[in-house]
Chain A
């Protein structure tokens, strides 16, 4: 009885699915999981379809944390064919679960070595860099008489007590690369000492990397530690903020692309990856990001310092992944509880 109901159900679902199939069945459809912004997706899709009109991209878009968790939950039977525009740190997690199919896209050698997976052929390739940035609300700063900021150290000045917002590294990848960058720039001991002093000035640790900049943009708190793309987008939308790239060095992550292993549409997936590091694609990325994976594409962003790329710290993704639990435990111990053990 139960079995028959199930069969009927399956038939019903099958028939409904068949009816819903589009008329042009020869078109290949790629399921692509992404954390890119909606407006970027449109441009990338158009760019890709100019070269490959026969491949339709079906995006599933959400924040990095959600998309990563979703793909992991589906790991026994992945729905996605390609992951594109998802953080390299998430790619490392997928790789550990054996979810990525190695592939060397055409023109791979043009991508800078530190912006792609070290394996050969690589499991993923970078598209562009998103680095740390501080959003500084000029209107509120003037009201409160706050000094200008040029470096991370400036944030520990007593004037900023209760004025700074940053992402919680336990919730947000952006927060995590801020912490690892400080540990790398200042050294382990001085890094934690720096965070101790910064902690005194932090009003709120948020659960998303975009949030601090949006809070700064809305004047909730005058200073938000966030990342470059969000900072520029917030300023574009009319918020009175100045974007600061601290001089000591910037933590960063990549937007990366990779093929999900076991995909039935390997041919089309490879074409998408080839396109993802093509000149066309890099030109589109450069509209939103100061640094893209292939050198030589000038950013069209204004207000980005000329030496931006030199300010990026030397990220070691393997080291970050291996020490993540230990760093977060230490961070939680120091800052996540009210009774601060000092």
Chain B
């Protein structure tokens, strides 16, 4: 009887049930994001309309901040530096991604890893390495032509370096899938390569390009780690936050700056939302996957360009590795292993390293599953339309939130005496969640970019075949998007290994992560041990990336056979 009952249920209601389940899940992910992103953020930013005693103060804090001398300069500096970094990074990353995805040059997987290498070390290490290359004692100081690295030049260099992999990840996903028929058509019509590039390739990657530009811009404008180390006297909004909160303990005014810094993310959300309506899938159900054929000139140029960029990127990490093996830079360059011994001897550094490993693994596993599934719900299911813009906004917000604001928001919200989730505070779990939230935007955009490339027709077909949409996700969508999914997992892992800004407020004495202990060593002037610890992290992340590459190669060979061009 039960079977009978079930059969009667299943046949007519599958599509409806499917839709309803998806809507409930949508509500659930919205609730999760409200709880772990919106609520902590609000707990911090509400301080912008309060005075120090916690009374409502209207716009008084804004007025006080606007009256501060040099504010216009901060705003202008933030804008032009971020725009410059965007103009450098996005084309550079696009060319790199293009060579990786659309050429037959050798060594692509190694070059891809080199392209992502800025993620492997803590951002602090990069800024220090730039000082060692271009500072007053720098090996390449002559290249600066008498211009000091401290200030806009240093910030632009370091930020371009730091944002390169974020843009590369999104653009690689954007160029992963293309319809080979379009290229055949272009060739048949006698279009030149350049014209084909302009009319087929670029439009196909438009969504990825705009997303990458917004991520790079928001990242640069909201990051205070780089200007803090290499910015000298150069004023930016993110430095203002640091001065207000850390320098003067004025949370209220820091919250004002935090709110102002959300504007670029808000703008990004609006652009994203407008583009949704015009977006077209590149990979329709009838598409033939495009596979690049060898072309000597293109492959040669690609290889040359990627090798040069990879070399430059690796030189930055190389300086940190070098520093970890010399006695006292720059005065005593005798080689030594002392820093490793000292660094490992330091109280808790080894346990910090294990903390980081556990945290990064959890972040990669949970984060990838949650982010990809949420992106899928957003792109491939129907109904609950009021929630969708909200979800897009939630996904865009994190890129405009300085880690410092997020971290303090977590403290204020989760440590509140009446919060039923208070038990999470001071645990590893809360750090994992904070990492996922902090790096949400790029991962979300990568997932959406990959999903957008797949025609909705797949869902329509599966619905008409009475196959659950969830089964289509498992059988078709996930395998097609697997490269992007793996990319997201790796991105989350390496970022969790190196991030500091949000965690510095929420770690407890037993959950100290390695990147924070590097910051401590650097603050204490122990540059050698700091570089040694950073080298350990870089080595670990590299090892994980290599294992990952082997694993994904095996996995992809099984799942991506459809990409092979038909004879």
List residues of chain A with CB within 8 A of the CB of B490: none
Contact with A along B410-426 (1 / 0, CB 8 A): 01100111001111111
List residues of chain A with CB within 8 A of the CB of B150: 203-204
Which residues of A, 35-57, contact B by the 8 Å Cβ criterion? 37-38, 41-42
Pairs of residues from A and B, 3 with the lowest C-beta to C-beta distance, nearest first: A65-B246, A337-B70, A171-B247
A61-B520, A171-B246, A234-B525 known; A205 vs B233 contact (CB < 8 Å): yes
Tell me which of A59, A218, A237 contacts B330 (CB under 8 A).
A218
Q: Does A151 contact B (CB under 8 A)?
A: no
Tell me which of B235, B245, B246, B411 contacts A336 (CB under 8 A).
B235
Which residues of A, 12-46, contact B by the 8 Å Cβ criterion? 13-14, 17, 31, 37-38, 41-42
Q: Does B190 contact A (CB under 8 A)?
A: no
Contact with A along B50-87 (1 / 0, CB 8 A): 00000000000000000011100100000000000000
**Judging by beta carbons under 8 Å apart, are B247 and A79 in contact?**
no
Of the candidate stretches B129-137, B292-300, B491-499, the one touching chain A is: B129-137
**Judging by beta carbons under 8 Å apart, are B416 and A77 in contact?**
yes
Closest-CB distance, B24 to chain A (whole angstroms): 10
**Judging by beta carbons under 8 Å apart, are B525 and A38 in contact?**
no
Q: Does A2 contact B (CB under 8 A)?
A: yes
List residues of chain A with CB within 8 A of the CB of B70: 332-333, 336-337
Q: Does B327 contact A (CB under 8 A)?
A: yes
How many residues belonging to A are interface residues under a CB distance threshold of 8 Å?
Answer: 64
Of the candidate stretches A68-76, A105-113, A300-308, the one touching chain B is: A68-76
List residues of chain B with CB within 8 A of the CB of A240: 331
A6-B420, A10-B423, A213-B525 known; A238 vs B331 contact (CB < 8 Å): yes
**Judging by beta carbons under 8 Å apart, are A207 and B137 in contact?**
no
A59-B509, A336-B235 known; A207 vs B423 contact (CB < 8 Å): no
Interface centre among A10, A73, A203, A204 (most CB of B within 10 A): A73
Q: Does A168 contact B (CB under 8 A)?
A: yes
List residues of chain B with CB within 8 A of the CB of A205: 232-233
Q: Does B249 contact A (CB under 8 A)?
A: yes
**Judging by beta carbons under 8 Å apart, are A220 and B137 in contact?**
yes
**Judging by beta carbons under 8 Å apart, are A207 and B247 in contact?**
yes
List residues of chain A with CB within 8 A of the CB of B426: 79
**Judging by beta carbons under 8 Å apart, are B412 and A73 in contact?**
yes
Tell me which of A38, A77, A234, A338 contacts B346 (CB under 8 A).
A38
Which residues of A, 193-230, contact B by the 8 Å Cβ criterion? 203-205, 207-208, 210, 213-214, 217-221, 230
Interface centre among B73, B246, B251, B420 (most CB of A within 10 A): B246
**Judging by beta carbons under 8 Å apart, are A31 and B131 in contact?**
no
For the complex, give the distance between the alpha carbons of A230 and B417 in Å: 39
Identify 17 residue pairs between A and B in the complex whose beta-carbon atoms are under 8 Å apart, listed by A's number.
A2-B31, A10-B420, A10-B421, A38-B520, A60-B507, A60-B508, A65-B247, A66-B505, A72-B251, A171-B242, A207-B243, A207-B247, A217-B525, A218-B137, A220-B136, A239-B331, A337-B235
Q: Does A190 contact B (CB under 8 A)?
A: no
Name B348's closest neighbour in chain A (CB-CB). A38
List residues of chain B with CB within 8 A of the CB of A76: 412, 415-417
Closest-CB distance, B32 to chain A (whole angstroms): 10
**Judging by beta carbons under 8 Å apart, are B524 and A66 in contact?**
no
Name A176's closest neighbour in chain B (CB-CB). B247
Tell me which of A13, A65, A171, A338 contacts B424 (CB under 8 A).
A13
Closest-CB distance, A224 to chain B (whole angstroms): 11
**Judging by beta carbons under 8 Å apart, are A220 and B131 in contact?**
yes
For the complex, give the distance between the alpha carbons of A207 and B516 in Å: 17
**A69-B246, A204-B232 known, 8 other contacts, Cβ within 8 Å:** A10-B420, A13-B429, A38-B347, A58-B509, A65-B249, A79-B415, A210-B523, A337-B70
Tell me which of B68, B245, B504, B527 contacts A218 (CB under 8 A).
B527
Which residues of B, 250-286, contact A by the 8 Å Cβ criterion? 251
**Judging by beta carbons under 8 Å apart, are A139 and B504 in contact?**
no
For the complex, give the distance between the alpha carbons of A69 and B68 in Å: 22
**Judging by beta carbons under 8 Å apart, are A68 and B249 in contact?**
yes
For the complex, give the distance between the alpha carbons of A235 and B137 in Å: 18
List residues of chain B with CB within 8 A of the CB of A332: 68-70
**Judging by beta carbons under 8 Å apart, are A219 and B233 in contact?**
no
Tell me which of B68, B247, B423 contacts A329 (CB under 8 A).
B68
For the complex, give the distance between the alpha carbons of A326 and B411 in Å: 30
How many residues belonging to B are interface residues under a CB distance threshold of 8 Å?
Answer: 60
Question: Which residues of B are in contact with A by a Cβ distance under 8 Å?
Answer: 31, 68-70, 73, 131, 135-137, 148, 150, 228, 232-233, 235, 239, 242-243, 245-249, 251, 327-332, 346-347, 408, 411-412, 415-417, 420-427, 429, 504-505, 507-510, 516, 520, 523-527
Tell me which of B239, B327, B422 contacts A238 (CB under 8 A).
B327
Closest-CB distance, B156 to chain A (whole angstroms): 17
**Judging by beta carbons under 8 Å apart, are A70 and B525 in contact?**
no
For the complex, give the distance between the alpha carbons of A42 and B242 in Å: 30
**Judging by beta carbons under 8 Å apart, are A77 and B423 in contact?**
no
Question: Which residues of A are in contact with B by a Cβ distance under 8 Å?
Answer: 2, 6, 9-10, 13-14, 17, 31, 37-38, 41-42, 58-63, 65-66, 68-70, 72-74, 76-77, 79, 90, 93, 139, 168, 170-172, 203-205, 207-208, 210, 213-214, 217-221, 230, 233-234, 237-240, 324, 328-329, 332-333, 336-338
For the complex, give the distance between the alpha carbons of A172 and B228 in Å: 12
For the complex, give the distance between the alpha carbons of A14 and B70 in Å: 50
Interface centre among A66, A79, A230, A237 (most CB of B within 10 A): A66
Name B137's closest neighbour in chain A (CB-CB). A219
Closest-CB distance, A164 to chain B (whole angstroms): 13
**Judging by beta carbons under 8 Å apart, are B525 and A77 in contact?**
no
List residues of chain B with CB within 8 A of the CB of A234: 525
**Judging by beta carbons under 8 Å apart, are A69 and B228 in contact?**
no
A65-B246, A337-B69 known; A77 vs B422 contact (CB < 8 Å): yes
Name A78's closest neighbour in chain B (CB-CB). B415
Name B516's closest neighbour in chain A (CB-CB). A62
Closest-CB distance, A227 to chain B (whole angstroms): 12
Closest-CB distance, A175 to chain B (whole angstroms): 9
Interface centre among B131, B135, B233, B525 (most CB of A within 10 A): B525
For the complex, give the distance between the alpha carbons of A70 and B425 in Å: 13
A66-B504, A171-B242, A213-B525 known; A218 vs B415 contact (CB < 8 Å): no
Closest-CB distance, A97 to chain B (whole angstroms): 9
Closest-CB distance, B524 to chain A (whole angstroms): 6
List residues of chain B with CB within 8 A of the CB of A77: 415-417, 422
For the complex, give the distance between the alpha carbons of A9 and B232 in Å: 46
List residues of chain B with CB within 8 A of the CB of A74: 411, 415
A220-B135, A238-B331 known; A69 vs B525 contact (CB < 8 Å): no
For the complex, give the distance between the alpha carbons of A9 and B35 in Å: 14
**Judging by beta carbons under 8 Å apart, are A14 and B423 in contact?**
yes
For the complex, give the distance between the alpha carbons of A93 and B249 in Å: 8
**Judging by beta carbons under 8 Å apart, are B505 and A73 in contact?**
yes
Closest-CB distance, B125 to chain A (whole angstroms): 15
Interface centre among A41, A207, A221, A233 (most CB of B within 10 A): A207
Closest-CB distance, A60 to chain B (whole angstroms): 5
For the complex, give the distance between the alpha carbons of A62 and B524 in Å: 11
List residues of chain A with CB within 8 A of the CB of B331: 139, 219, 238-240
Name B68's closest neighbour in chain A (CB-CB). A332
List residues of chain B with CB within 8 A of the CB of A37: 524
Name B423's closest neighbour in chain A (CB-CB). A13
Name A66's closest neighbour in chain B (CB-CB). B504
Name B521's closest neighbour in chain A (CB-CB). A38
List residues of chain B with CB within 8 A of the CB of A62: 504, 516, 520
For the complex, give the distance between the alpha carbons of A337 and B72 in Å: 10
List residues of chain A with CB within 8 A of the CB of B427: 13
Interface centre among A220, A237, A239 (most CB of B within 10 A): A220
List residues of chain A with CB within 8 A of the CB of B329: 218
**Judging by beta carbons under 8 Å apart, are A72 and B422 in contact?**
no
For the complex, give the distance between the alpha carbons of A42 and B348 in Å: 11
Closest-CB distance, B531 to chain A (whole angstroms): 13
For the complex, give the distance between the alpha carbons of A62 and B425 in Å: 18
For the complex, give the distance between the alpha carbons of A53 and B244 in Å: 41
For the complex, give the distance between the alpha carbons of A14 and B504 in Å: 25
Closest-CB distance, B417 to chain A (whole angstroms): 4
